[in-house]
Structure 1
Amino acid sequence: MPSAKILVVDDEPDLEALITQKFRRQIRQGLVTFLFAHDGQEALDRLSDNRDVDLVVSDINMPRMDGLTLLAKLQDLAERPSTIIVSAYGDMANIRTAMNRGAFDFLTKPIDFVDLETTIERTLRHVEALREGRRRQSLAERAHASLARYFSPNLAERLAGDASGLELGGHRRDVASLFTDIAGFTSLVESLDPAQLAEILNGYFAEMTDVVFAHEGTVAKIVGDALHVLFGAPGDQPDHAARAVDCALALDQVAEGFRARWRERGIEIGVTRIGVHAGPAIVGNFGGGRYFDYTAYGDTINTAARLENANKAFGTRICVSEAVVIRAGQFRGRPLGDLLLRGKQTALRAYEPLTEAVYGDAPLAQYQDAYAKLDAGEAGALAAFAALVGLRPDDGVAAFHLKRLLNGGSGSRVEVR
């Protein structure tokens, strides 16, 4: 047991010498330190100067302020020390009052010093148990506050109670990785004052992370204006791909609303581009033991980042891989092409997820028909996309494929750098 500090409050003139003599071994070994006061008022003054007192041993009948009044005042202290009350046999009514007011134990006079030592040891064990409980609670609260930056509130609460799964190191698991980035934000930063930049970014990430947490995603990293989100880690989520698609659509809606509000204030913020891919990755806490850094590594993560960038070519805001579409099950969207991403040897089919309202539009069927011709290498693809662009000139994807075909391109394979 660590060293304990005990305040003895009693007006008997010889008690200080007796206690110092009886506990000389413990005092010499540094196991215990005694302070002394002669009444309740003096005790409060000593406690004010010594906030690390673990235990108060107090008589009841004393001048100026008795032990019961002292006990009542101790309950108002932020660091309330445990208390042993000492009184005579004939004073049992007062002892009962003391126990009702929060005293941990009592002793009767004349003091049996063997009994006093035993009672003090028992009380100090109780004090240590309380301290350990408070320490664990404080650690859990700090852990929850830290984890809440990364995880949805319910997951953060569960991990704060048992964060063994977040120990230093990583493990391989299937995840869906989602990246966001604001187009042209670096240039915009140069025209903003620091206060306005902080207002924009703080508001943007507050809204975006709320969406992520609503879908029980994990914020792996925020760098500049970019957000990296994981689904399927650290907790198992069999529907991680479907969650990622739903989250991407919700993030797009929030980001567009955010842009519209700032446009009204005279500031044009670029679109938020989103890329999503699913597959194996190594995930875990790679903080080096000094700080918490829950993140993920692997080709799945790199591909998701590349898909976010691929939106630039198509004029889309969301681009997801075929791996996501297959895992998601019921998927509403349209194919964009077979993308040969930077650093890749094999093409990857990508899709644009669509809201239910857009998915029901008649022009989508026309796009699907045009894309089928493109995919099959049919000559009629050019006319089909030309007709679609005439019908919907703001369709960036149709315009992209029409331009490719007019420039002599063919098929659905697209090189994206």
Structure 2
Amino acid sequence: MTATVLVVDDEPDLETLILRKFRKQVRDGGISFLFAHDGVDALQAIEQHPHVDLVVMDINMPRMDGLSLLEKLQEREDKKSAIIVSAYGDMSNIRTAMNRGAFDFLTKPIDFADLEATILKTIRHVEVLREARRRQAEAERAHASLSRYFSPELAKRLAVGGDDDDMQVRWREIAVIFTDITGFSSFVETAVPGVLAELLNEYVGGLTDVVFAHEGTVAKVIGDAIQVLFNAPGDQADYATRAIACAQALDQRAEAFRERWKQKGVDFGTTRIGVHAGPALVGNFGGDRFFDFTAYGDTINIAARLEAANKTLGTRICVSDSVASGARKFSGRPIGDLVLRGRSEPLRAHEPLSATQFHAPVTEQYMTAFTKLEHDCAAAMSAFAALVGTHSDDPLASYHLRRLLNGAKGIRIQVG
């Protein structure tokens, strides 16, 4: 790469002497020179040739001296490296120049061997700075992109390239969360555009904050829907526990959000959440030109189906047995063996509960009724009827009672 040097001096013979001294470097394409007679000409030359790498300048010049020019150069975003040239007896000005950011200095009369060595040394310094700035810019761009997906600390770590292998596409065990909002399409059709933008930004931003607080990865945001991964890109031994805790925190944030907007007269839909764990193909599927860290496979599809199953069940969170059994001290109640759309084998599903809900008498009453559902539908019907009679606000108990009244049996449930 050719280095461009701007020489600023009002001595008429200097241009000829420099070109003669550096004729080999110029001929080989290592260095090119521009010349200006004072600071004003120099600034004009830099505007016309912004790729200038180095400025060699005299201190004493008409119209604008070297110190003033140096100050102007330091104000630029692309601060130019500078070499100051002045008489040996002018050490006070040379010291001022060095304090203002000059890289080096030469004294007059110029020793051209010293000039060559100083220019080459400074060019090497410029190349090091340029490479450092390039790396910093790349890291900042990477961090900006990664911050859309990962928690701030993980994004910072990945941006500097420390965990490049984690970006490669490969099979790994993960937990997946899918969220969606009931009736969102209809809501969009009637919502005022300004209100919709404010509402969605607050909603998605709030849920993303929850995900990052649990060190999850946001794989996709499509309108109102969010897909979250755990144990990707880095290893998380407790990924199942994190996923369930995150799902419950997302539910709490979404419900608080919905209530807040309801008080403003906006009827925002309920957020439904599905969680599943299993193997998936995970990594950056965007190649070298586009970053798209996501996951594919049956595990992803099941999580999406569990999210949709909430609509039928009346629940807000539905988690598979694979993620519940992998979580530490899971607290929840069984929903049933769900036969999800597109699948023939049933999948045991649960509704996670807070510690307070799990130890409440109503949960014990539900467990008793569910156990009967597995063996004696008539007894189960009476148990669920008694439960709904005292807790009519329990949608899952009401769902089981309706099933039994419509002639359904057992815990196998066709959904979707």
TM bracket (short chain): over 0.9
Contact 2:167–2:233 at 8 Å: present in 1 too?
A: no
- Secondary structure of the structure 2 residue equivalent to 1:304: helix
Distance in 1, matches of 2:394 and 2:60, equals: 90
Pairwise mapping of residues 41-60 of structure 1 onto structure 2 (< 5 A)? 41-60=40-59
Which stretch shows the higher mean deviation, 164-173 or 348-357?
A: 164-173
Distance in 1, matches of 2:348 and 2:376, equals: 16
Contact 2:166–2:233 at 8 Å: present in 1 too?
A: no
* Partner residue in 2 for 1:326: 325
* Partner residue in 1 for 2:206: 207
1:73–1:290 Cα change, 3 Å? closer
Distance in 1, matches of 2:79 and 2:223, equals: 46
Q: Is 1:187 the equivalent of 2:189?
A: no
Contact 2:313–2:399 at 8 Å: present in 1 too?
A: yes
* Partner residue in 2 for 1:282: 281
Shift of 1:170: 0.7
Pairwise mapping of residues 31-50 of structure 1 onto structure 2 (< 5 A)? 31-50=30-49
Q: Is 1:366 the equivalent of 2:365?
A: yes
- Secondary structure of the structure 1 residue equivalent to 2:280: strand
Contact 2:285–2:292 at 8 Å: present in 1 too?
A: yes
Distance in 1, matches of 2:194 and 2:91, equals: 67
Shift of 1:282: 1.1
Shift of 1:9: 1.5
Distance in 2, matches of 1:64 and 1:227, equals: 62
Distance in 1, matches of 2:201 and 2:232, equals: 25
Contact 1:168–1:289 at 8 Å: present in 2 too?
A: no
Which TM-score applies when normalising by structure 2? 0.95
Contact 1:174–1:278 at 8 Å: present in 2 too?
A: yes
Contact 2:335–2:349 at 8 Å: present in 1 too?
A: yes
Structure 1: 5+ residue runs without aligned partners?
none
How much is the aligned-residue C-alpha RMSD, in angstroms? 1.9
Q: Is 1:154 the equivalent of 2:188?
A: no
Distance in 2, matches of 1:263 and 1:411, equals: 38
Which stretch shows the higher mean deviation, 109-118 or 400-409?
A: 109-118
- Secondary structure of the structure 2 residue equivalent to 1:190: helix
Distance in 1, matches of 2:79 and 2:138, equals: 20
Structure 2 letter corresponding to 1:246: A
CA displacement, residues 160-199 of structure 1 (integer Å, 9 cap, x when unaligned)? 1116536874111111100001011112222123333222
Distance in 2, matches of 1:359 and 1:153, equals: 33
Contact 1:165–1:234 at 8 Å: present in 2 too?
A: no
Contact 1:168–1:288 at 8 Å: present in 2 too?
A: no
Contact 1:168–1:287 at 8 Å: present in 2 too?
A: no
Contact 1:179–1:276 at 8 Å: present in 2 too?
A: yes
* Partner residue in 1 for 2:299: 300
Q: Is 1:236 the equivalent of 2:235?
A: yes
Distance in 2, matches of 1:416 and 1:383, equals: 24
1:386–1:167 Cα change, 3 Å? closer
1:167–1:383 Cα change, 3 Å? closer
Which TM-score applies when normalising by structure 1? 0.94
Contact 2:172–2:281 at 8 Å: present in 1 too?
A: yes
Shift of 1:20: 2.2
* Partner residue in 2 for 1:72: 71
Contact 1:167–1:285 at 8 Å: present in 2 too?
A: no
* Partner residue in 1 for 2:388: 389
1:247–1:168 Cα change, 3 Å? closer
- Secondary structure of the structure 1 residue equivalent to 2:82: strand
- Secondary structure of the structure 2 residue equivalent to 1:11: coil
Shift of 1:94: 3.8
* Partner residue in 2 for 1:352: 351
Which stretch shows the higher mean deviation, 232-241 or 64-73?
A: 64-73
Structure 2: 5+ residue runs without aligned partners?
none
CA displacement, residues 310-344 of structure 1 (integer Å, 9 cap, x when unaligned)? 11121000000111111112111110001111222
- Secondary structure of the structure 2 residue equivalent to 1:350: strand
- Secondary structure of the structure 1 residue equivalent to 2:367: helix
CA displacement, residues 337-384 of structure 1 (integer Å, 9 cap, x when unaligned)? 011112223211100011223223211110011111112345311110
Contact 2:176–2:300 at 8 Å: present in 1 too?
A: yes
1:343–1:306 Cα change, 3 Å? same
Distance in 2, matches of 1:354 and 1:168, equals: 34
* Partner residue in 2 for 1:18: 17
The count of corresponding residues between Structure 1 and Structure 2 is 416
Structure 2 letter corresponding to 1:387: A
* Partner residue in 2 for 1:317: 316
Structure 1 letter corresponding to 2:56: V
* Partner residue in 1 for 2:122: 123
Distance in 1, matches of 2:47 and 2:285, equals: 44
Distance in 2, matches of 1:100 and 1:263, equals: 62
Shift of 1:42: 3.2
Structure 2 letter corresponding to 1:284: G
Q: Is 1:408 the equivalent of 2:412?
A: no
Structure 2 letter corresponding to 1:238: A
Contact 1:340–1:413 at 8 Å: present in 2 too?
A: yes
Which stretch shows the higher mean deviation, 113-122 or 217-226?
A: 113-122
Shift of 1:224: 2.4
Structure 2 letter corresponding to 1:404: R
Distance in 2, matches of 1:313 and 1:43, equals: 74
Contact 2:157–2:163 at 8 Å: present in 1 too?
A: no
